[in-house]
Amino acid sequence: MKPKFDPALPIYTQIMEWFKRLILSGKLSPGEKVPPVRELALQLGVNPNTLQRAMSELEREGLLYTERTAGRFVTEDSALIASLREELIRQVVGGFLEEVRALGYEPAEAERLIKKYGGETE
């Protein structure tokens, strides 16, 4: 579960992206407790301040919240999670279609291509 970061980009944004996906994909459940900053920093091999920054940003975006004594938790706002998940898949599909188009296929052919090759992954 250790992601590989691109050191040419700010690391905190990549941690945010990684963590966001854990929440949106349901690998972290709504209301689940998040491990302490130092523990996560250790696991990822990154600076604890960098990790803290990523967590604070995710709090600002409403995906995490802190309870003073108990620690940090994933939001229980499942409507927020659902809408962000929808937004993410929209971007993923958009990116895919862009590549399809770049290779000279019509977007309308995408469905046929998915049916033909979709079984090959996983």
Partner 1 sequence: MSEVLLEIKNVTKRYGKQVALQNVSFDVAPGRIVGLLGPNGSGKTTLIKIINNLLADYEGEVYLCGHAPGVETKKLVSYLPDKMALPTWLAVTEALNLYANFFADFDRARAENLLHSLKVPPGKKIGELSKGMQEKLMLTLTMARRAKLYVLDEPIAGVDPAARDLIISTIIDNFADGSSLLISTHIISDVEAVFDDVIFLKEGAVDLQGEAEALRSQHGKSIDQLFREVYRC
- The least distance separating partner 1 from the CB of residue 80, rounded to whole angstroms, comes to 27
- The least distance separating partner 1 from the CB of residue 16, rounded to whole angstroms, comes to 12
- How many residues are given for the chain? 122
Quote the strand ranges of the chain, DSSP E: 33-34, 64-67, 71-74
- Helix or strand holding residue 60 (H, E): helix 48-60
Nearest CB to partner 1, comparing residues 30 and 48: 48
The residues, ordered by sequence, that sit 6+ positions from 122 with a Cβ below 8 Å of its Cβ are none
- The least distance separating partner 1 from the CB of residue 52, rounded to whole angstroms, comes to 10
Nearest CB to partner 1, comparing residues 17 and 77: 17
Nearest CB to partner 1, comparing residues 46 and 110: 46
* Residues in touch with partner 1 (CB under 8 A): 5-12, 38, 41-42, 44-50, 53
Q: Which residue has the tokens 């691109």?
A: 6
